[in-house]
Amino acid sequence: MGKTAIGTIGLMLTVAAVLFCAAGQGQQPVPAAPANAAAGPSGDEEWEITPESAKAVELGLEWLAKNQGPQGNWNCRELGLVSMGALAFLSAGYTPDKGKYGHNVRKALDYVISNAKPSGLLNIAEAQHDMYNHGLSTFVLTQAYGMTRDPKIGKALDKAIKLICVIQGNDGGWSYQAVPSHGGDLSLVVMQAKALRGAMDIGLDIPQQTIKLAIAKVRKHYWIKERVSDGKALLLGLSESGDEKFSGRFTYQGNAGGKPSIAMASAGAVCLQEFGQYDDFRIIRSLYEATKDAEQTMKEKMAASKDSLPLDPYTLYYLTQALYQVGGKYWRQYYPIIRDNVARTQIRGGRNRSEQNGSWQANYGNPYATAVAVFVLTIPNRFLPILQEAPADSLAKSRSQAGQ
C-alpha cells in the first residue's frame, strides 16, 4: 500500500448511531502542540474561545482524568469511546507522557492498541460495532501519530488503515461488521472517511480507488427534497440549473428513505470535505438544513432544561466539524451558539452531584458526552493535524471554479 505502511516509515523516520457504554494528501505532519496547552488561537480567531468555555474545558479534562480508571478505558469495552476520551486530551494539546494529562492520554491509547486484533481490527465489543469502533479509533490514532510519530501507535495504525481499505464494498461503503459487503449506511462511511483523511493528512498514501468509490457512495446518500426558488437560489449562491436548484440533505439511506437528522446532514458534508470535494453543492445545501434544524432544536432543549447537552453528542461531533470545515459565516454565526450552550450545560456545583461536577450528561453516558464536549470546545485550538488545514472561508468561492 505504498506509503501507507507506517511501520516502514517508523523505521525510516522513526455513531443507526454510535453505540457506546452508558457510564490534502502529502501534507507534511504538524509538530505536537506545547505540552501545557496554554496557548490558544490569536488574531482574528480570539472570539472563538471565551473565559467560560476555557473553564469548562479545564473542568472537563479534570473529570475525565479522575474517572478514567486504572485500565484507562472509563470502565468500558467500546474502543470508540476510549479513543474519544483520548481525542479530548489531544485536542486540548496534551500528548502521551507529556504535560499534566500525558499519563491519561497514554493509558487510553495503550488500552486501544493493546486490544487490536491480529487483523488490525479495533473492536472488542459485539461484531455489529466493528466498523463504528474501528473507524473512530483509527481516526484518533492518526491524530496521535501525527502529533507524536510514536512507532507503537504507527504499527497499530498501519494495520487499521489497511483493514479499512481491504474490506470496503464494491459500492464504496462499509458494513457494520469488518467483512467486505455491499451496502451500509452513511454513518459507516463517515467514520471510515475521517480515518482515511486523517491518514492522508499525516502524509500517507491511500488508494485513489478507495477514495473514488467512497465519494460516489456518499453522494448516493443525498436526498433531493424540493426545487429551490430563484430568490433563495440566488441568496445561497446556487446556480440556476441542474440539481443545484433543488434543496436537499444527506440522510442514512438517501432517496431510499430514512428519517432526516441533523447528524447525517452534517456527516455527509464532513465526508465530502474530508475527501477534498469542496466544490460540491451538496455540502452547503445539507449544512443549511442541518443548521436550521439545529438552531431550533437547541432553542427548545435549552428552554426545557439545561441538564444535558444542547444536542446529542453524536450530532455535536459532526455538526461542529462541518461548520469548521466550511468556515466563513457558518462558523462565525453558529459556533458561538454551540460553544456557549455546551459550556452552559456542564454539571457544576451541588453536593448531590459532586461526583459528576465537571462532566456533561447525555444518553450514551457522561464519559462520552464529556469527551465530545471538550473536543467541541477545543476545536479553536487547532492542535489536531486534521484541524491544521485552514477551513474554507467561502464555499461559494470554491464552487465558482467547478460545480458538481
Report the distance separating Cα 248 and Cα 240, nearest Å.
Answer: 15
CATH topology of domain 67-217: Glycosyltransferase (1.50.10)
Flag residues of the chain having pLDDT under 70. Answer: 1-44, 226-246, 255-258, 350-353, 389-404
pLDDT at 16: 29
**Cβ atoms of 116 and 167 closer than 8 Å:** no
pTM exceeds cut of 0.75: yes
- Identify the three-state secondary structure at position 301: helix
- Identify the three-state secondary structure at position 27: coil
Phi, psi of 168, rounded to the nearest 5 degrees: -60, 135
Report the distance separating Cα 286 and Cα 85, nearest Å.
Answer: 29
pLDDT at 204: 87
Pure H helices in 167-257: 186-201, 208-219, 230-236
C-alpha cell at 208: 485513489
Report the distance separating Cα 141 and Cα 134, nearest Å.
Answer: 10
Q: Which residues, in sequence order, are bridge partners of residue 223? A: 249
List the chain domain ranges. Answer: 67-217, 221-404
Report the distance separating Cα 81 and Cα 289, nearest Å.
Answer: 28
- Identify the three-state secondary structure at position 276: coil
> At which residue does the C-alpha cell 474554507 appear?
392
**Cβ atoms of 129 and 137 closer than 8 Å:** no
For 60, 273, 280, 342, the CA distances from 170, given in Å and listed in that order, are 42, 22, 23, 40
Phi, psi of 246, rounded to the nearest 5 degrees: -115, 135
